[in-house]
Structure 1
Amino acid sequence: MKLIVREYDLDSSEPAVIIHDDDCIVLGVKVHDRVKINSGDVWVSLVGNSDTIVERGQILIPNIYLKRYNLKDGDEVEVTHSPKPDSVVYIRKKMDNKTLTKEEIYAVVNDILEAKLSNIEVSAWLTSLYINGMDLDEISHFTNAMVDTGDRIEFERQPVFDFHSVGGVPGNKVTPIVVSIVAAAGLMLPKTSSRAISSACGTSDFVETFCNVELSAEKVKEISENVGAVFAWGGSMNLAPVDDIVIKVENPLGINPRAQMLASIMSKKVAIGATHLLVDIPMGAGTKIPTMEVASAYVRDFTD
């Protein structure tokens, strides 16, 4: 079916094209199904439907897609139904507590990046990791997949030190203190942090109260090599971008699965080329790590 492009100037946590109800019936699609769009480039998007904000014969496309695929208002595109990606099968496989291959994990990560999976499907992925976990080989593949779908920063100055606190302690922001001490000692520590995941305030949220954390990769490299340290929100760069997509889904659930946490931490460290890493694992009531046994397991995981 040929449809006329209309600009969809609205940010959404789940980018999707919107098609008129009647056209959806002809295409054989419903909400959260996928369509293949041929605009010179061939790409797949989730679908939303409406009979009020879009007319028959039109397709509303978010700005993010217009820019990515060089489309403009009034262009004509060919739209057809697209089947569910194989990654949905792999998510169900992990829900059944089965081990995933490297190729299967890469497929899930790539489809999250390309917005081929709905937030519901990403939630199912996270829940399966929360309940069933991953073995170390799976976590290794997961980490590498997250790194390979983004950019890397290559520093001329060496060595590259890094620090990460698993967090979970309300009001405890040890990272700015550690980074400042390390930089004052003449070492280089380019610190990228996340916003809130399972609490009301992440390190980047806190640091943003006194300095700008939305920096480009080039700026992070420049400041780190000249000053010795920097505070930056990982989401402002293309370092392991899937991690920041997943965090937006994790936050409402209030969970941070062990496998996701490990892959998230290590992918950012690999992406910035860290040669030395110190990890803080708070343990006890009110933290993410309730007992010494669980803390010891995390130590083994990071070491392995």
Structure 2
Amino acid sequence: MRLQVKNLPIGTGDIAIAVLCDKDATRLDLRPADRVLLKFGHKKIVATIDIIGRVNGAPQRDHKKQVICCGEIGLFLEVQYALGVKTGDIIEILSEKKPISISYIKKKLEGKRLEKDELYAIINDITEGNLSEAEITYFVAACYLHELNMTEITHLTYAMVETGEQLKLHQHIIVDKHCIGGVAANRTSMMIVPILAAAGLTVPKTSSRSITSAAGTADTVEVLCPVVFSLADMKRIVHKTGGCLVWGGAMSLAPSDDKIIQVEHPVSLDPTGQLLASIMAKKKSVGATHVLIDIPVGRGAKITDLKDAISLQGKFEELSKRLGMKVAVIITDGSQPVGNGIGPALEARDVLWTLKNSARGSILLKEKSVTMAGILLELTGKVPKGKGYHIALDILESGKAYEKFIEVITAQGGKEIRPDQIPMAKKSYIVTAWKSGKVTHIDNGIMNKIARIAGAPHDQEAGVYLFCHKGTIVRRGDKLFSIHSDAPERLKYAIDIAKKENGFEIG
């Protein structure tokens, strides 16, 4: 059947939706959520059908105000862009069978092991948009209920890599790092990339935006320079400077991973097998040969039990061997925020002060970053065993890391800026100690929550600034942290939350 396009100003952000009137749907024997193949010239896309004039599957009689008339097909933004159509164009619509990958998802739900080609089919269909959000959720749930074994994880990782773009730098050694998350103000990538690049290593670092935190690395870097680049531009920047700090979501590196994460987040599902495959696929897709994995553990972090961290460490090491990559997996203190600032602008100031060896820099951020950079220098054989920390520290304290950082952000379209020139929210509120004693705990989750309520990361200038960390001796009335926001209602709400639970424990 051929239908006239009516473009609708609606998008889902991912899922391709087409809308039919009830009569046309009946002629095609289509029901809501059925799949159709849409063709326009040489372009085609599989879309999910919605039907005007049906409520709960039942036809409705009043069609006078119907948005889509018979002979028309309404297209959501995702379909419009894929086909390159405008209102009035004629497209062809054909019914589409359910992908065979659905039967493989059902197989996993039954607790059976999946073969290489079955996992590839699932990931390919996720990448191509052939599976609905509900079907992807079933796949995630199946992997949660019936854990993937290491062979399945290996196949899943390769499938994620092979169904996306890959960065080809043709370098013998390519370095990368990843933190599994859960710790506020953990901006080590912005420190490690310039330290390693200044040492002569190649570090094509892709980072994510925030999902639940007050800022992701990409959000913080974006305060200083653009982070959205094509794969070709990323390659150009890396060839020019030895490193980059770009947003991975702008490229199709292991693109199925982003779609899987979208369905994991609302129900807080993060199956171990998919966590491993997700991280290592991103590293493999940029050609990484030597990788450092940071597993923060502690109360308030993503992983709270040391035994779980050690188990995950072993799995990363096993998977890396199967992928032909050298990996160092470290377990770090995740019981408090790493830096002082929490929120894009506050964290960017933190990084700059620390790179410039200013007294206003973060001691914890400096120590953790130098330690991790040192491990990678030794892992790659760039420096002798036992010398990595001191050489990384020298690169930082000599100013070479700061110079390289400016080189990288300049190549990405930014320019040098003093930390105190970065705009901050004009309104703030200071939370003080309610008693004297030692700070024994600072909860990452609560700090992120307060910073997000204040407006971070969407408002770059909003967030939280810590005046002390664990182990600090405070007196009643001393500053613990400040809340920053230009939105009065947001600031008031953040203050209310901080008064109920401020994340600090004083012993």
User: Scaled by the length of structure 2, what TM-score is found?
Assistant: 0.56
Instruction: Provide the C-alpha distance between the structure 2 equivalents of 1:55 and 1:259, rounded to a whole number of angstroms.
Output: 47
Report the CA distance between 1:232 and its aligned residue: 1.0
Contact preservation (8 Å) 1:198, 1:254? no
Query: Which residue number in structure 1 is paired with residue 34 of structure 2?
Result: 33
**CA separation of 1:258 and 1:227: change in aligned 2, threshold 3 A:** same
Report the CA distance between 1:84 and its aligned residue: 2.0
Q: Secondary structure at the match of 1:282?
A: strand
Name which one, 1 or 2, has greater alpha-carbon Rg.
Answer: 2
Q: 94, 97, 117: which one pairs with 1:83?
A: 97
Report the CA distance between 1:75 and its aligned residue: 3.0
Instruction: Provide the C-alpha distance between the structure 1 equivalents of 2:21 and 2:161, rounded to a whole number of angstroms.
Output: 38
Instruction: Provide the C-alpha distance between the structure 2 equivalents of 1:227 and 1:278, rounded to a whole number of angstroms.
Output: 21
Report the CA distance between 1:196 and its aligned residue: 3.1
Report the CA distance between 1:252 and its aligned residue: 2.2
Report the CA distance between 1:273 and its aligned residue: 0.7
Q: 252, 261, 278: which one pairs with 2:275?
A: 261
Query: Which residue number in structure 1 is paired with residue 317 of structure 2?
Result: 303
* 1:204-223 correspondence runs (5 A): 204-223=218-237
Instruction: Provide the C-alpha distance between the structure 2 equivalents of 1:55 and 1:24, rounded to a whole number of angstroms.
Output: 11
* 1:190-201 correspondence runs (5 A): 190-197=204-211, 199=213, 201=215
Q: 216, 240, 256: which one pairs with 1:202?
A: 216
Report the CA distance between 1:120 and its aligned residue: 1.3
Unaligned runs of at least 5 residues, structure 2: 54-65, 319-507
Instruction: Provide the C-alpha distance between the structure 2 equivalents of 1:281 and 1:53, rounded to a whole number of angstroms.
Output: 52
Do structure 1's residue 186 and structure 2's residue 188 form an aligned pair?
A: no
* 1:46-125 correspondence runs (5 A): 46-51=48-53, 52-125=66-139
Query: Which residue number in structure 1 is paired with residue 8 of structure 2?
Result: 8
Report the CA distance between 1:282 and its aligned residue: 0.9
Report the CA distance between 1:130 and its aligned residue: 2.5
Which digits, 9 at most, give the CA deviation of each residue in 1:32-68, with x for residues without a partner?
Answer: 2111334455542111222432221111224443443
Contact preservation (8 Å) 1:20, 1:54? yes
Which digits, 9 at most, give the CA deviation of each residue in 1:165-210, with x for residues without a partner?
Answer: 1111233332222223222323221111122345454332333333
Unaligned runs of at least 5 residues, structure 1: none
Contact preservation (8 Å) 1:46, 1:117? no
Percentage of identical aligned residues:
38
Paired residue type of 1:45 = A
**CA separation of 1:173 and 1:231: change in aligned 2, threshold 3 A:** same
User: Scaled by the length of structure 1, what TM-score is found?
Assistant: 0.91
Runs of 4+ in 1 over 4 A off after TM superposition: 40-43, 197-200
Contact preservation (8 Å) 1:199, 1:254? no
Report the CA distance between 1:280 and its aligned residue: 0.7
Which digits, 9 at most, give the CA deviation of each residue in 1:227-285, with x for residues without a partner?
Answer: 12211111101211111222222232233221221111111111111111111111122
**CA separation of 1:268 and 1:202: change in aligned 2, threshold 3 A:** same
- Which protein has greater RCO, CA pairs closer than 8 Å, 6+ apart? 1
Query: Which residue number in structure 1 is paired with residue 442 of structure 2?
Result: none
Q: In terms of mean alpha carbon deviation, does 166-175 or 200-209 score higher?
A: 200-209
Query: Which residue number in structure 1 is paired with residue 258 of structure 2?
Result: 244
